[in-house]
Structure 1
Amino acid sequence: MTASTTRRTTASKSRIAAVGAIAVAGALLVTGCGDQTKKGSAPESSGGASKSAPLFSKLPANIQKAGVIKVGTDATYAPMEFKQGEKIVGIDPDIADALGKQLGVKFEFTSGTFDTLLGALPTGRYDAVMSSVSDTKARQQGLDKDGKKTGTGVDFVDYYTASTGILVKKGNPEGIKSTDDLCGKKIAVQRGTTYEQAAKDLAAKCKTDGKGELTFEPYATDAEAQTRVKAGGAVADLNDSPVAAYIAKTAGGGADFEAVANKSDAGPFGIAVDKKNTQLRDALSAALDAIIADGTYKTAIDKWGGAQGAVTKAAINGGS
């Protein structure tokens, strides 16, 4: 997310929740606990855990026993994570499947509202959050948008990179080429994402630079923000670059939107875990390095056209 930020990002990195407009009509409007849809492929074991997996011994004892890593996500963000029927699919679930084979456990995804996911980690509802979440210092430290302490924070295992994507109507009637071109206009964002804060920061910058007032409307889901753009009520929706590109390609058969990427503000997505769960964090980091080395990571992201965001090694808390 960028000068306008992420759903899943900070003021100059994108991470917003978005599903292609293919899902606009049926976008999830969920409460904090989500819709309880749980999906993920089991790693070569009929009983859940596979003790013979290469990195099984690195997992915490409770997860070894359960044979499951409970993952919170907002499955409205194609191609990163979204629903096909009742199944949650996309780049994140496919990466998780590859990680599961290294760790010998199943990654079980549950969909919920994006802005409730990280707060559920200390409660034990989820063991991890994998939802195109931008790794930022504020999230690491448990700070809200005003810099106030709201929790203990989380640790991230960074597994992908993305920049801010600007989703505009087909034909780009306003000639938007960067976030600077949004000054004097109205935009849409998803509530609770770093893009919401980015929009506030961009509005302040537009005013300081004397380029006109930027206004924005936050919505519960990115699908609602997309609808607003399509209807002409906003000139753009801020998103992560791979998501904006996917929406532009698929919505209305490619006839509804165009995507503009701000590559200069690229930042990491991370798998979030509770600060106290360092053993799980380190196991996930080792598993990510393993799937990068064996090629299954590349297979997972190439399937969805996400090669531009590939990382070459795991990083812990690499966001700024």
Structure 2
Amino acid sequence: MTASTLCRTAAKSRIAAACAVAVAGTLLLTACGDQTDSGSEAGDVTASKSGAPLFDKLPEKYRKSGVIKVGTNAEYAPMESVENGTIVGVDPDIAEALGKQLGVKFEFTSGSFDGLITALNTGRHDVAMSSITDNKQRQEGLDENGKKLGKGVDFVDYFLAGTAVYTKKGNPEGIGSIEDLCGRTAAVQRGTTYEEALKKQSKACTEGGKKAVKIQSFENDTEAQTRVKSGGAVAGVNDYPVAVDLARKAGDGKDFEVVGEQVDAGPFGIAVNKDNTELRDVLKEAVDAIIADGSYQKVLDKWGAATGAIDKAAVNGGK
């Protein structure tokens, strides 16, 4: 999800399939100020080290480069999106705060969501930070049927979010919750936890003697939103903070509304290669540090995402 930006809402719950396609044709955008490749110069690293309490705990690779490369999918305001050519949002701002603890810069590259974990495990990125729900499927590298597809990833949990249903403004079909989607058409982004939530609900519908949900899955969330707005789907499903932000901002608040309460709340995590345990552990320390010093809460308050606050980081806390 190099320009001046870091300074920008929960179950995705966006769950990127562990087997996803490699990121191609990504848009390179960097979070915050003067985050450029010059971070590899000795002078930059020395400057970064000054006043950064966790710098010495970083693996040598990052102490030398002064940079942690982040894969994201910048289509989920307020978590991460592109404004005026730069990536902004909750995740970039949290990364900026983490960078102050670690003495390095977080450089964000935006690509397809369902390719983030593959790109991470092939070394294209050092971490992935994109409203990614931490769950056992991703941790263990499994597909939706439990088949082993890869080694999986570790997560450093930093936020809590659930799934929400949104409709056209005025809710013309009278949808009150995800249970009301039996026999109806719903739009969603492919490879996300909320797509899985729709599949789970569809199964519950048929087991209860009702018609299955007609699920329309799209490559990106913008297409799903367009489908709902045009009336091609009675509702869309998304992360709760993203759905709330969408309802507040799209069409100046005239396009959509959120119905019912968020369900299946779970943690968002920073994904890290399972072999990179040193980086994983120091990231956990850094998340705890920004929670303790108040900078974490300031970021959430800035973006209207305070409902997702946690009081302590965790490693692989998702179920």
The aligned length equals 297
Instruction: Give the whole-Å Cα distance in 2 for the aligned partners of 1:242 and 1:64.
Output: 34
CA distance in structure 1 between the aligned counterparts of 2:288 and 2:171, rounded to whole angstroms: 40
The structure-2 alpha-carbon separation of the partners of 1:167 and 1:91, relative to structure 1 and needing over 3 Å to count, comes to same
Residue of structure 1 equivalent to 2:110: 111
Shift of 1:194: 1.9
Q: Which residue of 1 aligns with 2:183?
A: 184
User: Which letter does structure 1 place at the counterpart of 2:29?
Assistant: T
Q: Which amino acid aligns with 1:107?
A: F
> What amino acid is aligned across from residue 215 of structure 1 in structure 2?
K
Q: How does 1:1-320 map to 2 (within 5 A)?
A: 6-9=12-15, 32-41=24-33, 47-48=44-45, 50-52=48-50, 53-320=52-319
Q: TM-score, normalised by structure 2?
A: 0.89
Seen in structure 2, the aligned counterparts of structure 1 residues 31 and 126 have a Cα distance that, compared at 3 Å, is closer
Task: Evaluate the alpha carbon distance shift between residue 41 and residue 290 of structure 1 in structure 2; reply closer, same or farther with a 3 A threshold.
Answer: farther
How much is the aligned-residue C-alpha RMSD, in angstroms?
Answer: 1.9
Structure 1 residues 90-124: Cα deviation after superposition (integer angstroms, max 9, x where no partner): 00000000000000000000000000001111221
1:33, distance to aligned residue in structure 2 (A): 4.5
Q: Aligned equivalents of 1:38 and 1:51: distance in 2?
A: 20
Give, in whole Å, the separation in 2 of the partners of 1:298 and 1:216. Answer: 36
CA separation of 1:117 and 1:228: change in aligned 2, threshold 3 A: same
Structure with greater proportional helix content: 2
SS of corresponding position for 1:157: strand
More deviation in 48-57 or 160-169?
48-57
Contact 1:185 1:214 (8 Å CA) reproduced? yes
Q: Equivalent residue of 1:308, what SS?
A: helix
Task: Check 1:264–1:32 CA distance in 2 against 1; reply closer, same or farther (3 A cut).
Answer: same
After superposition, give the CA deviation of every residue in 1:108-165 in whole Å (9 maximum; x if it has no partner): 0000000000111122110000000000100000111221111111000000001111
Corresponding residue for residue 24 of structure 1: none
Cα separation, 1, equivalents of 2:162 and 2:260? 7
Is residue 89–residue 303 contact of structure 2 (8 Å, CA) maintained in 1?
Answer: yes
Preserved CA contact (<8 Å) 2:23 2:116: no
2:13–2:163 CA contact under 8 A, matched in 1: no
Counterpart contact for 1:72–1:128, Cα < 8 Å: yes
| Offset, 1:7 | 4.7
The 3 A distance-change label for structure 1 pair 31 and 75 is same
Q: Which amino acid aligns with 2:136?
A: K
- 1:21 alignment counterpart: none
Task: Describe the shift of the 1:33–1:125 C-alpha distance in structure 2 as closer, same or farther (beyond 3 A).
Answer: farther
Structure 2 partner of 1:16: none
Counterpart contact for 1:42–1:105, Cα < 8 Å: no
Of structures 1 and 2, the one scoring higher in RCO (CA 8 A, sep 6+) is 1
For the residues of structure 2 that align with 1:31 and 1:276, how far apart are their CA atoms? 21
What is the one-letter code of the residue matched to 1:116?
G
Q: Residues of 2 paired with 1:191 and 1:92: CA distance?
A: 21
Q: Output the CA distance in 2 between the equivalents of 1:40 and 1:117.
A: 21
Please give the secondary structure, in 2, of the residue aligned with 1:96.
Answer: helix
- The answer for the alignment partner of 2:7 in structure 1 is none
Q: Distance in 2 between matches of 1:88 and 1:229?
A: 26
In the aligned structure 2, how far is the partner of 1:280 from the partner of 1:33?
27
Question: SS of the counterpart of 1:148?
Answer: coil
5+ unaligned residues in a row in structure 2: which ranges? Answer: 1-9, 17-21
What residue identity is the alignment partner of 1:51? K
1:22 — aligned with what? Answer: none
Q: CA deviation at 1:262?
A: 3.2
Q: Which residue of 2 aligns with 1:20?
A: none
Contact 1:67 1:105 in 2 (8 A): yes
Secondary structure, aligned partner of 1:202:
helix
Native 8 Å contact 1:81 1:88 kept in 2: yes
Q: Is the 8 A contact 1:6 1:198 kept in 2?
A: no
Cα displacement string for residues 207-239 of structure 1 (whole angstroms, at most 9, x for unaligned residues): 111122311111011000000000000011110
Amino acid at match of 1:8: R
Letter in 1 for 2:90: I
The residue type paired with residue 55 of structure 1 is L
Q: Supply the distance in 2 between the matched residues of 1:172 and 1:272 (Cα, whole angstroms).
A: 36
Q: CA deviation at 1:85?
A: 1.2
Measured after TM superposition, the shift of residue 254 of structure 1 is: 0.1
SS at the partner of 2:44? coil
Flag as ranges the 4+ runs of structure 1 deviating above 6 A. Answer: none
What is the TM-score when the length of structure 1 is the normalising length? Answer: 0.89
Question: Residue 3 of structure 2 corresponds to which residue in structure 1?
Answer: none
